[in-house]
Amino acid sequence: MTTNNESLFARAQLTIPGGVNSPVRAFKAVGGAPRFLVRGEGSRVFDADDRSYIDYVGSWGPLVAGHAHPEVVAAVREAAGRGLSFGAPTQAEIEMAELLCRLVPSMEMVRLVSSGTEATMTALRLARGFTGRSAFVKFEGCYHGHADGLLVKAGSGALTLGQPSSAGVPAETAAHTIVLAYNDCSELEATFKAKGGSIAAVILEPVAGNMNLVRPSEEFVKLARELCTRHGAVLVFDEVMTGFRVGLSGAQGLFGVRPDLTTLGKVIGGGMPVGAFGGRRDIMEYIAPLGPVYQAGTLSGNPVAVAAGLATLKLVQAPGFYDRLSGATRTLTDGLARTAQRRGVAFSAQSVGGMFGIYFRAQPPASYIEVMQCDKEAFNRFFHAMLERGVYLAPSAYEAGFVSSAHSESDIAATLSAADEAFAAVS
């Protein structure tokens, strides 16, 4: 018997390439038909067959307070009642900018945009305009959106589809992208020694989340800061995923490293499309209309999206929010690791704040190469076994997972119970 999800997927493929509007949604990496979701409530989502799942995707990170939080929904309704879009300045934009500059000390000025991709793309253009240089450094397996120069050995969906790069990216564009190994201090230092005078920027996921979760070494992050300072390059922290996910000041707050520019998204939109980039005042003043680096967005600072973001950022400022979130996430990852060990499955897990990674290998990976050594087929079997038991994980071995403040102790206990059966199926 064909399910509603299968029928919808067949129908979607007639008019939408691959049946989806973002590649990882297609379940191509894990097989089967994707779940078409119709509603979310707290820690759970419900699909077209009216099945309920404990959700660890959370719209890929934004829903740090869970689905349809009453305060966020109320803020959106109030804003929508006043108008959906103006293409003109609003007071809410100012409030968002002021709040971001207060919560993230490295952001002295900020520009709102409509997506994380737009934020990272513009941050690099700004770094090039500010320095007068063309080359930039990114790290293997890190995903910074789908701008041409960034789709070189990228993570996320590019890894899921087995495409480390993308067709349609001109060789002359990719030539300005220097790709190095994540967490490799000697390679980073040697590159700056050889090419430091031509490097406009280093863009870094301070906790990688698009080749699954990979933690940086403290030495690696601090070296990036030191080398950029010494050679006059701009250090860009891509905190689209980690911003307000791993702590109130993002990953930079955890590591005590101050980047020159920061990109944000996901949480600051509360589930709606919002991005931002900001940083040192002298760099940000190069952006039009003050400076020569052009950037514009018709719907930037959309009042409804900003309302959702402001409501979410109010929630995360509650005392103890991140302590509780981090504790719940550690309970999940520690429990999964113990359960796998009991079942004799080669497995490891780790977390940073409300983000987590699960790996079918004995130790958590520290680089793209180690990520690729994980048992992908074991993950695929585990994914489907968990889905059958009402737990919705990212449909790819190369994506981080997310816990929200809506996940209860009983949710995590139910997840671990499902995992016990799923690991048995994997082994």
Catalytic residue among 53, 56, 143, 322: 143
Partners of residue 235 on adjacent β-strands? 202
148 is catalytic: no
Catalytic residue among 266, 359, 392, 398: 266
β-pairing verdict for 199-204 and 177-180:
unpaired
Partners of residue 297 on adjacent β-strands? none
C-alpha distances out from residue 74 to 12, 205, 343, 392, 405, Å: 32, 33, 45, 27, 18
Catalytic residue among 47, 184, 238, 260: 238
Phi, psi torsion values for 287, nearest 5 degrees: -85, 140
**Helix-, strand-, coil-residue percentages of the chain, each rounded to 5:** 45, 15, 40
CB 185 within 8 A of CB 366: no
Handedness of CA 127, 133, 139, 144 (dihedral sign): positive
Token digits of residue 426: 């994997």
Give the span between the Cα atoms of 304 and 83, in whole angstroms.
Answer: 8
Helical H segments across 298-408, by residue range: 303-316, 321-342, 368-371, 376-388
List all residues 6 or more positions away from 334 whose beta carbon is below 8 Å from its beta carbon. 349
143 is catalytic: yes
List all residues 6 or more positions away from 268 whose beta carbon is below 8 Å from its beta carbon. 96, 100, 243, 244, 274, 275, 276, 309, 312, 313
Q: Per the omega criterion (within 30 degrees of 0), is the bond before 70 cis?
A: no
56 is catalytic: no
User: Which one-letter amino acid corresponds to residue 51?
Assistant: R
Catalytic residues: 143, 238, 266
